[in-house]
Amino acid sequence: MAEKRNVDLLNLPLATIDMTEALENPEKIAPKVVKAMENEGFLYLRNIPGFKPDELLQWTKWFFNLPLETKMAISKKCFKEDNLNSFRGYFPVIPGGHSHKEAFETGSFGDFDPVKQQNQKLINGRPLMRDVTSEGNSWPNTGTSDDEIYRKVMEYNYDIYRKTASQVLQLIARGMGLDPNCFDYMFNPSPLATLRLIHYPSRVNFPPEEIPDEARDGDTLITTGEHADTTFITLLATFENWGLQMLQNDTWVDVPPIRDGLVMNIGALMTDLFGGRLKSTMHRVIDLGEDRYSVPFFYEPQFDTDISKTFDGKEIESIGRYHRYGPWMCNRTSQFKEYATTDFGVLD
């Protein structure tokens, strides 16, 4: 099992990008971002304008400390049949799973609207995939003034992460010799991007029979299995928590936490869009015997974004049958256990 260590900031395994400097001097910083994406597929972002990790962590813990009943009141429909929301909101820990976490997710489509939901178009009793993926946000209701603060903090963070992700994509585009704004039309006005709060309760004291074999790698206990992300880019707050590992030359390497910054990596599709030049690195999360909190933001474009061609116009052969981002994402996401029972609806 990886040991907890103090972070040696001068000896991190990854490049660090100062986002304030990057905004002032993008020509200088863009090649550094591209180099890190070509080599490791991961880097750190620091000095991010407006990013307030302490407040984000405080309210993340506030949410997960609510009674299960309060959280389940906004769980996705597949975990509680009476609920109307199916895409945004809470998902509980799935006992005995490979991954072991609970989460809360928000998107860019305003608030959940039960009237709109009840009047939505159905085809053979099923909703349209574009309606499912543009569902509004469901917020916890504790009946206290904390509800409004929580919601404001999460909306604030969604904006900060979204702005930062857009700036990082501009740096990548610039560094690849493209128009820095060439990604913008894909994401605006309303991307499918998700802000996800995660709590991983530790399983180290569980009876062995409650932990599936697939959640073990020798003595190491896995809490999110190895995967590449289903995004363009992911920005991730790990606060002071160890546990994230990336695969480098067939070896699992720790990605140490940096308290005030974000970890950034690219998803499999970015590798394809740039003809294999940028690296989408496999990663996983291990259980170090303590509760763990993290907040990733999956920067995903709008439903109809064409993802069938590389930036220099070649067909992407590995893309399969779905050539628009929305259907491609739903197909990929349904392979993750926490989404396995979500009804993503039908294509129009």
Ligand X SMILES: O=C(O)CCC(=O)C(=O)O
- Residues of this chain that bind ligand X (CB under 6 A): 198, 224, 229, 236, 238, 244, 283, 285, 294, 296
CB of 131 within 8 A of CB of 169? Answer: no
Taking the complex as a whole, how short is the minimal distance between the CB of residue 257 and ligand X, in angstroms?
9
Out of Fe ion, ligand X, none, what residue 105 binds, judged by CB under 5 to 8 A for its kind, is none
Angle at 232 between CA 251 and CA 53, to 5 degrees: 80
Cβ neighbours of residue 277 under 8 Å, at least 6 residues apart?
Answer: 38, 176, 271
Q: How far apart are CA 81 and CA 86, in angstroms?
A: 10
The nearest distance, CB 327 to Fe ion, in angstroms, is: 21
Report the residue closest to Fe ion, judged by CB: 229
Q: What is the DSSP letter of 4?
A: P
Place of tokens 């256990």: 337
Identify whether the C-beta of residue 211 lies closer than 8 Å to the C-beta of residue 270: no
Nearer to ligand X, 176 or 221 (CB): 221
**Partner that binds at residue 19, options Fe ion, ligand X, none, CB closer than 5 to 8 Å by kind:** none
- Give the x-and-dash track for 264-303 against Fe ion (CB under 5 A): ----------------------------------------
Produce one character per residue of 178-217: b if its CB has 16 or more CB atoms within 10 Å, e if not.
eebeebeebbeeebbbbbbbbbbebbeeeeeeebeeebee
**Cβ at position 224, least distance to ligand X in Å:** 5
Closest to ligand X by CB, 238 or 302: 238
Amino acid in position 48 = I
Instruction: Return the number of the residue (36 or 285) whose C-beta is nearest ligand X.
Output: 285
Q: Whose Cβ is closer to ligand X: residue 229's or residue 287's?
A: 229
Could you tell me the smallest distance in angstroms from the CB atom of residue 272 to Fe ion?
17
Query: In the β-sheet with 251-254, what is the strand arrangement from edge to edge?
Result: 216-217, 220-227, 283-286, 244-248, 251-254
The entry of ligand X, Fe ion, none that residue 244 binds, CB within 5 to 8 Å by partner kind: ligand X
Nearer of residues 131 and 229 to Fe ion, judged by Cβ? 229
User: What residue ranges in the chain does DSSP mark as E strands?
Assistant: 16-18, 42-46, 89-91, 102-106, 122-123, 126-127, 194-200, 216-217, 220-227, 233-237, 244-248, 251-254, 262-266, 283-286, 292-299
For the record, the structure tokens of 267 come out as: 């998803």
Joined together, the tokens standing for residue 149 give 């603060």
Grouping H, G, I as helix, E, B as strand and the rest as coil, residue 220 is strand
236 binds, among ligand X, Fe ion, none (CB under 5 to 8 A by kind): ligand X
CB nearer to ligand X: give 41 or 296: 296
Closest CB 171 distance from ligand X, rounded Å: 21
Q: Report the DSSP pairing between strands 42-46 and 16-18.
A: parallel
Of ligand X, Fe ion, none, which one does residue 238 interact with (CB within 5 to 8 Å by kind)? Answer: ligand X
Window of 48-56, 122-130, 191-199, 224-232 that interacts with Fe ion by CB under 5 A: 224-232
Q: Which is nearer to ligand X, 29 or 329 (CB)?
A: 329
Tell me how far, at minimum, the Cβ of 218 lies from ligand X, in Å.
21
Residue 37 contact, options ligand X, Fe ion, none, Cβ 5-8 Å cut-off depending on partner type: none
Query: Using a CB cutoff of 8 Å and minimum separation of 24, what contacts does 24-29 make?
Result: 26/170, 26/171, 26/174, 26/180, 27/174, 29/171
Task: Kindly state the smallest distance separating residue 226's Cβ from ligand X, in Å.
Answer: 9
Q: Between 229 and 338, whose beta carbon lies closer to Fe ion?
A: 229
Q: Which is nearer to Fe ion, 229 or 300 (CB)?
A: 229
Query: Which of 131, 229, 287, 338 lies at the binding interface for Fe ion (CB under 5 A)?
Result: 229
- Residue 234 Cβ vs ligand X, minimum distance, rounded to whole Å: 6
Q: What gap in Å lies between CA 266 and CA 281, rounded to an integer?
A: 8
Shortest separation between residue 282's beta carbon and ligand X, angstroms:
10
CB atoms within 10 A of CB 257: 19
Q: What residues make contact with Fe ion under the rule CB under 5 A?
A: 229
